[in-house]
Structure 1
Amino acid sequence: MSKTAAPSWQARVEAAWLRRGPLAWALLPLSGLYATLALSRAWLFRLGLLRRERLPVPVIVVGNVIAGGAGKTPTTMAIVAHLLARGRRPAIVSRGYGRQSDHLALVTPASDAREVGDEPLLMALRTGVPVAVGADRVAAGRTVLAAHPEVDVIVCDDGLQHLRLCRDIEVLVFDERGAGNGWWLPAGPLRDSARRRADLVLYNASAPSTPRPGWLAQRALRGALPLAAWGSGGGTPRPLEAFAGRPVLAVAGVAHPERFFRMLEAAGLRLERRPLPDHHDYQQGLPWDGWDGDVVLVTEKDAVKLRSAGDPRIWVVALDFMPDPGFYAALDSVLSRRLHD
């Protein structure tokens, strides 16, 4: 049996968002206020009272309508890989949630995750395309275009609610939670209407979790690389089955660490689980100091913050995220139409 830490307050709140229990009912009046403010702001943009700004290249926005990770970043990287394969020259813009500064910045492989954010740094390392971060996505887009004039399409990670940025395609991502209990924050998980328009819907789940038509994405763990080999971009991943029968500590500072743990266990590993808060900062030390096993498995999102760690026990497990081919065909079709409108 694997050892599991007690659920965090974040996990308890997210569990409450899946049902309409006493806590959700108590918070419902605040949800009405949140929804009114969010919908009123959207109408101000539609009426032209708040100004949208358009960049000189097509913009694909990837986002979700619920709080917490639904798979936006893996979707963004998958779309970028597809655009590269089609001969396009994409760039990524992102807010850089969880970083210690709010200034505009171009992300390089040598960037510090604390300054640019762990997800933007991971996207830069995995995709090799230009990445810019900034709370103002319009300014971030202009910054990356000025630095890389060859860019001909921008993919915005988590930008559905950043309405000032004009977009040509909206991709809405759901995970297995769907719309949760269907209520807005804080009584439920919704930060936007579950019925909001979108050009494409992608389910980061084994089956659709809402009535909306869309495509499924498959998730698979690729294998594990020693931290040093992962950081240098070399080496052949070791099959996860090679760690079966050995003491393994699994560490995940992501929105839903249980997904990572379940996938490792499905590969036959017996784990001690160490869930950490999303965007966990490792500057205070390694949370497994004193653990006497010889294998520590971490996600790539954790690895970008551990590159200077000298612990040879750290192995990095990469995620392969594979949307259905029909999703890419639909994306190509919509993008082609937008370019010729």
Structure 2
Amino acid sequence: MSRLAERWLEAAYTGQAWLKALRPLEWLYRRVVQHRARAYGAGRRDTWRAPVPVIVVGNITLGGTGKSPLVAWLARYLSESGWSPGILSRGYGGRAAGYPLRLTPRTPVAESGDEPRMLADQTGCPVVVDPRRPRGGQCLLEAGCDILISDDGLQHLALERDLELLVVDGQRGLGNGRCLPAGPLRESVERLHQVDAVLVTGELQQGLPVASHGMQLTPIAWRSLTEGMPQPLLPLPFSGTVNALAGIGRPARFFATLDELGVDYVPHAFADHHRFTPADLAFGDQRSLVMTAKDAVKCRELTRDAWSLDVEAHPDPAFVDWLAARLARL
């Protein structure tokens, strides 16, 4: 992310006054989004209804919210409940030769994108990447899936859905409450009233206009990039000061987790979905390297003395009960 983009995103979440100059463009953006939604609702754009239930997990804000850990939790929960889930992704950052792309253990992350590779590794479920969600969904049906999870699919209206789960970062919330480019919202705040459930990652720092469920992201293990085996959180599997790398939507969350674990580190933040090169990891010292699981799938071939931190989502029990009741009616 460029310095200018970082300044803009910080301004959007802190509500700085100079963004008022962008409100005419926000009005235009909102009109475009509303027109598109109405076109799908009125049948002027084609949609596809899968013959199995579809659950969409997404957000309306830019920057990380904890969406991917929730997708992984949901896939595992559905598998344990007797379903055969498949995960559908846009595959941001990946460049495949053709679509749909069904991931195998040998699929390069450069083709799939980082999040699909991570989700496939963490869940063992079929994962398909396709910019056209209905086509990707059909591929998952051919793989034997009886329920589909659309990752970051809230704005992909061509795929009809049975449940919409919206994730909000508790600390940053909805920022200044304005849509792009005058704020961080992809859609207006009213969208929160239309989804089936809102989950808040961490402690909610500002009010929301709808009821919500809590969700915690809990570190569970360290994992060596070379050996791939999980290690306990404590004692730390490395010593001294480390270089901490984060190329995710909200690097500050990862660094805060390291603080909680008592890790002494030098932070290195990169843009979300950054394509790492060996030069990015050459910090000119002999320190060990720690990173997120999402970054690890791109750095396995680039470094040896490195550890990733496994994190799991834990929605509150009330949400789990609500989800079980809704699934029983699908």
- If the length of structure 2 is used for normalisation, what is the TM-score? 0.93
Question: Quick one: which amino acid aligns to residue 320 of structure 1?
Answer: E
- Letter in structure 1 aligned against 2:88: V
| 2:282 is equivalent to residue 289 of structure 1 | yes
User: What displacement does 1:289 show?
Assistant: 1.3
Letter in 2 for 1:138: P
Deviations 1:95-131 (A, max 9, x none): 0111134732111222111111100010001000001
> 1:255: Cα distance to partner?
0.9
- Identify the match of residue 311 of structure 2 among 319, 330, 341: 319
Matched, 1:274 2:268: yes
Q: Which one is further off, 91-100 or 43-52? A: 43-52
**Structure 1 residue 35 displacement after superposition:** 0.3
Pairing 1:86–2:86 present: no
Q: Distance in 1 between matches of 2:236 and 2:120?
A: 29
Supply the RMSD in Å over aligned alpha carbons: 1.9
CA contact (8 A) 2:52 2:147 kept: yes
Q: What displacement does 1:321 show?
A: 1.4
Residue in 1 that maps onto 2:203: 206
Letter in 1 for 2:259: E
Distance 1:7 1:163 in 2: 30
**Equivalent AA in structure 1 for residue 121 of structure 2:** L
Contact 1:121 1:304 in 2 (8 A): yes
Q: Contact (CA 8 Å) 1:240, 1:264: kept in 2 or not?
A: no
Counterpart among 112, 126, 129 of residue 133 in structure 1: 129
* One of 14, 29, 35 as aligned partner of 1:34: 29
Aligned residues of 1:219 and 1:322 also touching (Cα < 8 A): yes
Runs of at least 5 residues in structure 1 that lack an aligned partner in the other structure: 1-5
SS in 2 for 1:287: helix
Sequence identity of aligned pairs in percent?
Answer: 36
Residue aligned with 2:299, SS: coil
Instruction: Give the match for residue 291 of structure 2.
Output: 298
| 1:228/1:316 CA distance change after superposition, 3 Å | same
Q: Which runs of 5+ in 2 are unaligned?
A: none
What is the deviation of 1:41? 1.1
1:244–1:268: 8 Å Cα contact kept in structure 2? no
Match of 1:216 among 210, 214, 217: 214
1:251-296 Cα distance to aligned partner (Å, 9 max, x none): 11111111101110121122101111111112x3242314323311
Aligned to 2:156: 162
Structure-2 change in CA distance of 1:11 and 1:96 (3 Å): same
Q: Is the 2:290–2:308 contact (alpha carbons within 8 Å) kept by the matching residues of 1? A: yes
Equivalent residues of 2:15, 2:175 under 8 A apart: no
Judge which range, 66-75 or 258-267, deviates more.
66-75
Alpha-carbon distance in 1 for matches of 2:88, 2:307: 29
CA distance in 2, matches of 1:21, 1:80: 39
1-structure distance, mates of 2:2, 2:29: 27
User: Do the aligned partners of residues 293 and 329 (structure 1) sit closer, same or farther apart at CA in structure 2, a change above 3 Å counting?
Assistant: same
For 2:209, give the aligned amino acid: P
- Name the residue aligned to 2:325: 333
Q: Deviations over 1:134-169 (max 9, x none)?
A: 1111111011212x12x1100000111111111000
Q: Retained in 2: the 8 A contact 1:225–1:316?
A: yes
Contact 1:241-1:267 within 8 A present in 2 as well: no
Contact 1:244–1:270 under 8 Å retained in 2: no
Instruction: Tell whether 2:248 aligns with 1:254.
Output: yes
Deviation per residue, 1:29-63 (Å, 9 max, x gap): 10000000101111122222223210111000001
Partner of 2:114: 118
Q: Is the 8 A contact 1:249 1:293 kept in 2?
A: no
Paired residue total: 325
- 3-state SS of paired residue (1:61): strand
Amino acid at match of 2:278: G
Match of 2:12 in 1: 17
Letter in structure 1 aligned against 2:125: V
Give, as a single letter, the amino acid of the residue that structure 1 aligns with 2:146: D
Q: Is the 8 A contact 1:53 1:166 kept in 2?
A: yes
